[in-house]
Amino acid sequence: MKNISSYSFCQEGHIKKNSSDLQFVPESAPRHYSPDLTILCRDLDVNIHFKDLTSKKADVTAKITVSGMGSGSNEIRFNAKADSIKISQLKINNTIFNDYSIKNDKLIIHRSVKADETIEITVDYLLDYPKSGIYWIIPDPKRPQRPSQIWTQGESEEARYWLPCIDSPMQVYPTKFTVKVPNGFDVLSNGKLLEKIEEGDETVFVWYQDQPHPAYLITLCIGKFVFYEDAPIREEVPLRYFADKDQFSSDDLYRSFKETPQMIKFLSEKLNVDYAWAKYHQVVLEDFTGAMENTSATSWFWDSLLSKDESEIYPNPHITEEVNIHELAHQWFGDLVVIKHWASAYLKEGMVTYLTSCYLEEFYGKDVHFLDMYNNQEYYLKELKTRYARPIVHNKYNYSFDLFDDHTYPGGAWRFHMIRRIIGDKLWWKTLTQYLTVNRHKSVESMNFIKALDEISGINFREFFDDWVFSPGVPDLKIQYSFNNKTKTKLVVLNVEQSQAIMKTNKDDSVQFDYDKLFKLDFQIGWLDKDHVWHYERIHIPKQLSTAVSFPVAEEPLAIYINSNLDVLMEYKVKEFSTKMHKNLAEYGPDTLSRFLAIKELIKKEFVKESKFITKIIKKEADSCIQSFRKMIHEVGEIRSPLSFNILKSLIDEKRDKLPVVASVIPLLGKFQTEKALELLLSFTNHHNTALQNLAIRQLGSTQFSEKVFDLLKENVDKPSWNSKMAINAINSLGDLYEPISEIVWFLLDIAEQTKYHFNVRTNALQGIISHASMIDTGLKVKIIPRLEVLLSDPEDRISRKSASVLSNLKSFSSKPLIETMINTLSDGLQNQMRTVMENFGKDDQPTKELTQLRKEIFNVSKTNKELKEKLLKLETIVFSDKKGSDNQK
């Protein structure tokens, strides 16, 4: 799945260099293993009757066929939540059987099953207010556009809340769903629609997934849908996109998902394995978050559909397109070949994150692919350095969903990318074909992938997996550059130190290092000659702390590009390339990533002196690659000086007609906190393109011009807009505005309480209060706490959870018992997520009045500090241009 939106260290998670008290999970967390395979599920046949769509109840009969395996079993164990699965009758082979128990999340049937014996278990039950797995969207008279829907979400361990089943990815089986709903509603599910029959006021839908799949990939979506019929994948394999028929049109669906056919073609051809399922549906669901790759039917986040205006400002690829290829690729990786255990989630999530990048390479070019992989590196390294370092394959956790992090997704993607670089494109795709073919409809772990790799490439990949997948961390190189022209052959010399392995430097400068943290590296380096032609060398770094490598050159290089083929995931610092070398790389870099990296260095070291040069390069980039342009101007925006503002403003002035360029600049303007920035932002609040209006509204709060923006932001909360985007942007902007604090807090609380707003507007309003929490004084706090406590019992659990988060940020210790009661009503996965909220309370260190006052003062001091810094930079700019003027006169 994809989320749209990172803990004394356990031994394997310890990076001593970045020692902090953060770790992935506490030492006490258990290790998890796949269950024994003594019972095999053969088939699941479920009959569900939803008498109405609002009662959060249904009558269900589940028939489960199982066989004994190996030595057989003394009992039959299913995952089933006792709270919501109220069994009325259980039969074995059609005979009533009473010797069973259902407790917590296990249904245990005391009946032995011999090896090779097959039996059929029929469970009749009332599905009653499940905490997870299946969700009822209930219309609200205050929000007329809210549709009536029911949908399920199984990953990672949620199917058991509504279905008795073997809820482990290692067990795959065909499923049949016979679903009865009131007339007028559609039912969508996995596989093929066998029947649709009207029975009086109700309609029965029979869906059959004849190919085996795990419980977490089961889907049911009930609602009134409009759909767009795209060209079939092949004969009798339809391709359709669905959304609520009262809010969206088939045009909206087409606009957002139109790239799907080219994606299916790309994956089928590259993988050399046809799309496996009976159809492909993409279903946009009310209130759904993230996207989920159920077999043959992907569920989508509620605001995935693009407005016409958004499609103008986002040059492809946009998030919807990237999520589209991600979920589609799961139909092969995760669905056709299933992971045996959550510990190996990277085999599906890392793989499809990487295939997304391969798709970008195919359709948008190498530049976009390189930038995407660089972004993947940044996400992963951020988690690694600021949160925790764990091995990519990891079975020590509290709840399996904890593994769905930036180690698994971008970190996993990078491991696959490096493998592709080692074996080359041809063998890479051949390996994937082999892995998919051999393991079709089976469950896998790393060894299955290593086996395919060994067979196709002939290379033994165990060491690679030990270093990169089964151990934590990445290389962090310190590179010393020198050019040697004293010898007969001119040489570039690089002294490379693997600093990640340094555990300690002794007083006598000798170092102690950890041999297990060394890597064997092989990557390409580019160097530029005087005719601006690039030459490439490969360098090999063995598993040792420091290595000197050199290569001959005809003359001193004008620029050097380390890791120019993006071969290796690593951090590196070079001591020391000259400004001239950075400028040459920015101007003549062979790809857009190299130009971005050079511009980033120049901005860091010589922003004022080289501003004209930097601006020239950025303007050129605006016309060639919007993605790298956006990354370059982000670095300019971070400087937050008058000079950087002027550069950004000049980009808008010159490229006003290029909406993607303008849309890239607007999000950088709020932090300048100057009249000029405010003026520029206000000029976009009435722009004909509503998506640009949204971006400008989102920035107004950060400018801190309360008297000019507070009322405007309030007004925009009630402006009708595509997927409530204007309201959400105005609310988030209010979350950034510091004054008038009490009016803002009251306003946000008021919004959070009203069900006429979408839950996302309401949760963002609560998030706004969290961002003001440290500045809320005791007087205001005592007034808002009772109202926040009422929200703890909001029917929408995202609101109650967010309210708990606000209360913990406000250190409302008296609310603790109420919060604990609320947490107990949540599913196991959500209870696990809420632990951090309780940890937020920390020790009983209720902030004093003095502390609140101190926080306000720090805020004011940092504000003054920023003003001073700006003045200084202004002076610097003037002094510099004067100096330049007089230099020229000479």
Q: Which residues, 6+ apart, have CB-to-CB distance to 311 below 8 Å?
A: 255, 318
1 counts as binding Zn ion under rule CB under 5 A: yes
> In this complex, which beta carbon is closest to Zn ion, that of residue 119 or of residue 328?
328
Q: Report the interhelical angle of 260-271 vs 425-438 (nearest 10°).
A: 90
Nearer to Zn ion, 175 or 298 (CB): 298
User: Between residues 1 and 389, which has the closer beta carbon with respect to Zn ion?
Assistant: 1
Give dist(CA 208, CA 401) in Å, integer: 28
Considering the complex, what minimum distance in angstroms separates the CB of residue 92 from Zn ion? Answer: 38
- Residue 644 CB partners (closer than 8 Å, separation 6+): 607, 636, 637
Query: CB 291 → Zn ion: shortest distance, Å?
Result: 8
Q: Work out whether 187 is an interface residue with Zn ion (CB under 5 A).
A: no
Q: Which residue lies nearer to Zn ion by CB, 230 or 327? A: 327
> Which DSSP state fits 395?
-
Which of 2/415 has CB closer to Zn ion? 2
Neighbours of 33 (CB within 10 A): 9
Q: Which range, of 1-9, 48-56, 168-176, 545-553, touches Zn ion by CB under 5 A?
A: 1-9
Site map for Zn ion, 223-252, x if CB under 5 A?
------------------------------
Question: What's 848's DSSP letter?
Answer: P
Nearer residue to Zn ion within complex by CB, 2 or 180: 2
Q: Which two tokens stand for residue 250?
A: 């088939």
Q: What's the closest the beta carbon of residue 751 comes to Zn ion, in angstroms?
A: 32
CB of 348 vs Zn ion, minimal distance in Å: 7
Over the window 328 to 357, marking each residue x when it contacts Zn ion by CB under 5 A and - when it does not, the resulting string is ---------------------x--------
Supply the minimum distance, in Å, between the C-beta of residue 155 and Zn ion.
9
Shortest gap between Cβ of 349 and Zn ion (angstroms)? Answer: 5
d(CA 243, CA 250): 8
The distance of closest approach from Cβ of residue 177 to Zn ion in the complex, given in angstroms and rounded to an integer, is 23
> Please, what is the minimum distance in Å from the beta carbon of residue 864 to Zn ion?
46
Pick the closest to residue 661 from 619, 703, 612, 607 (CA basis). Answer: 619
- Could you tell me if 599 and 589 are in contact, meaning their C-beta atoms sit under 8 angstroms apart? no
**CB–CB of 254/228 below 8 Å?**
yes
Q: How far is the CB of 267 from Zn ion (least distance, A)?
A: 14
- Which distant-in-sequence residues (6+ apart) come within 8 Å of 162 by Cβ? 60, 84, 85, 127, 130, 133, 134, 152
Closer by beta carbon to Zn ion, 412 or else 473: 412
The nearest distance, CB 300 to Zn ion, in angstroms, is 13
**Under DSSP, is residue 19 helix (H, G, I), strand (E, B) or coil?**
coil
- 1 or 222, CB closer to Zn ion? 1
When the beta carbons of 318 and 856 are compared against Zn ion, the nearer one is 318
Q: Specify the residue, 1 or 64, whose C-beta has the smaller distance to Zn ion.
A: 1
Q: Which is nearer to Zn ion, 225 or 333 (CB)?
A: 333
In the complex with Zn ion, the residue whose CB is nearer, 340 or 671, is: 340
Q: In whole angstroms, how close is the CB of 152 to Zn ion at the nearest point?
A: 17
| Site map 2..31 versus Zn ion, x via CB under 5 A | x-----------------------------
Question: Under rule CB under 5 A, how many of the chain's residues touch Zn ion?
Answer: 3
Question: Under a CB-based contact definition with an 8 Å cutoff, are residues 597 and 570 in contact?
Answer: no
Is the Cβ of residue 342 or residue 523 nearer to Zn ion in the bound state?
342
| Smallest distance, Zn ion to C-beta of residue 327, A | 7
Instruction: Tell me the two tokens of residue 669.
Output: 């303007």
Continuous segment of H or E residues that includes residue 889: helix 849-889
* Residue type, position 84, single letter: S
Closer residue to Zn ion (CB): 259 or 567: 259
Q: Which is nearer to Zn ion, 4 or 782 (CB)?
A: 4
The alpha carbon torsion through 9, 411, 167, 159 (nearest 10 deg) reads: 100
Question: Where would I find the H helices in 402-460?
Answer: 412-423, 425-438, 446-457
Q: Is 465 left (phi over 0), alpha (psi -120 to 50) or beta?
A: alpha
From the CB of 352, what's the least distance to Zn ion, in Å?
5
Cis peptide before 740 (omega within 30 of 0): yes
Q: Are 375 and 334 in contact (CB under 8 A)?
A: no
Beta partners for residue 281, in sequence order: 240, 297
Dihedrals phi, psi of 223, to nearest 5 degrees: 180, -170
- Nearer CB in complex with Zn ion: 335/591: 335
Using an 8 Å Cβ cutoff, are 78 and 68 in contact? no
Shortest distance (Å) from residue 568 CB to Zn ion: 25
- Report the distance separating Cα 388 and Cα 18, nearest Å: 9
Task: Tell me the closest approach of the beta carbon of residue 518 to Zn ion, in angstroms.
Answer: 32
Question: Are 325 and 311 spatial neighbours (Cβ–Cβ below 8 Å)?
Answer: no
Residues of this chain, 541-560, that bind Zn ion according to CB under 5 A: none
Separation CA 403–CA 393 (nearest Å): 9
Closest separation in Å from C-beta 450 to Zn ion: 22
Can you tell me the distance from the alpha carbon of 848 to that of 827, in angstroms, rounded to the nearest whole number? Answer: 35
User: Cα–Cα distance between 464 and 270 in angstroms, integer?
Assistant: 25
**Whole-angstrom Cα distance, residue 614 to residue 629?**
12
Helical H segments across 142-259, by residue range: 250-257
- Least CB distance to Zn ion at residue 225 (A): 23
DSSP 97-158: ---EEEETTEEEE---B-BT-EEEEEEEEEEE--SSSEEEE--BTTBTTPPPEEEE--TTTT
Q: How far is the CB of 367 from Zn ion (least distance, A)?
A: 25
- Of the pair 47, 152, the CB lying nearest Zn ion is at 152
When the beta carbons of 152 and 699 are compared against Zn ion, the nearer one is 152
Instruction: Assess contact for 190 and 217: CB atoms under 8 A.
Output: yes
Inter-helix orientation angle 741-753/797-809, to 10°: 160
How far, CA to CA in Å, does 719 sit from each of 716, 724, 751? 5, 8, 14
Residue length, the chain? Answer: 890
Which residues, in sequence order, are CB contacts of 56 under 8 Å at separation 6+?
128, 129, 130, 136
| Mode of pairing for the β-strands spanning 39-49 and 173-182 | parallel
Name the site residues for Zn ion (rule: CB under 5 A): 1-2, 349
